[in-house]
Amino acid sequence: MTTFSLRQVRLRSGEEYRDEIEIDVEPLELGGQRYIVVPEKVPAELSIHRASTGTVFQLSFRARLHGPCVRCLDDAVLELPISAREYQATNPMSDELRSPYVADDKLDLSAWARDALALALPEQILCRPECAGLCPVCGKNLNDEPHEHEEETSDSRWSALSELRDRL
Ligand SMILES: [Zn+2]
Ligand SMILES: [Zn+2]
C-alpha cells in the first residue's frame, strides 16, 4: 500500500508541490472477476495545491489493466489514462469537504488510484470492440471458430439449455 505523508509538505496559500511517486495498485474485483494492473507499480504524478480554504490534490497516471473479456473470457488489456482530483478543506464542516483518502496527515494513494481506475473503466471490458463472444449453444469461442448451429437440433439437451439461458 502506498501512502504519502502530508507532514513533509508545508504549503502556504497559493503554493504548489509536485512529486513523482510509484503507486502500488491493488487488483480490482468486478462481477466476480479479477482485473490486475500490470505492472503493479504505476508511476504517477501527484500535485498538491494549497488554496485559501483548503488543499487540492491531483493525481495522474496511465495504467494497464489485464483481466477476462466479459464476452469470451479471453485476456483483455485496457490502457487507461487517469486524472483524478480531490479536495480537502482546511476546516471541513461536512463530509463533502473532506477527502476519503486523507487521514492522519496521510494520503492513501493506493486506495485513491484503485478507485479512480474503477471509475474510468468502460461499461464492458472487452478483448476487442467487436468481440463475438462464446457460442451460446456449444460454448466455443466465436472469435477463434466462427460458426452457427442448425436450428432443428430441437430435442437435444443443448437447445433446452440455451432456451433456459435466453430466459435468464
Ligand atoms: Zn472477447
Ligand atoms: Zn457453437
pLDDT digits (tens, 9 = 90+) for 21-30: 999 999 999 8
**Residues with Cβ < 8 Å from 141, sequence gap 6 or more?**
72, 74, 134, 135
Nearest ligand to the C-alpha of residue 149?
A: 2
Nearest ligand to the C-alpha of residue 142?
A: 2
CA of 155 to the centre of ligand 2 (A): 16
7 residue type, one letter: R
Question: pLDDT tens for residues 69-93?
Answer: 999 999 999 999 999 999 999 888 8
Cell numbers at 48, concatenated:
498538491
pTM equals 0.80
CA of 4 to the centre of ligand 2 (A): 52
Residue 126 to residue 131: CA distance in whole angstroms = 7
CA of 81 to the centre of ligand 1 (A): 22
CA of 37 to the centre of ligand 2 (A): 33
**pLDDT for 149 beyond 60:** yes
CA of 73 to the centre of ligand 1 (A): 6
Q: CB of 61 within 8 A of CB of 39?
A: no
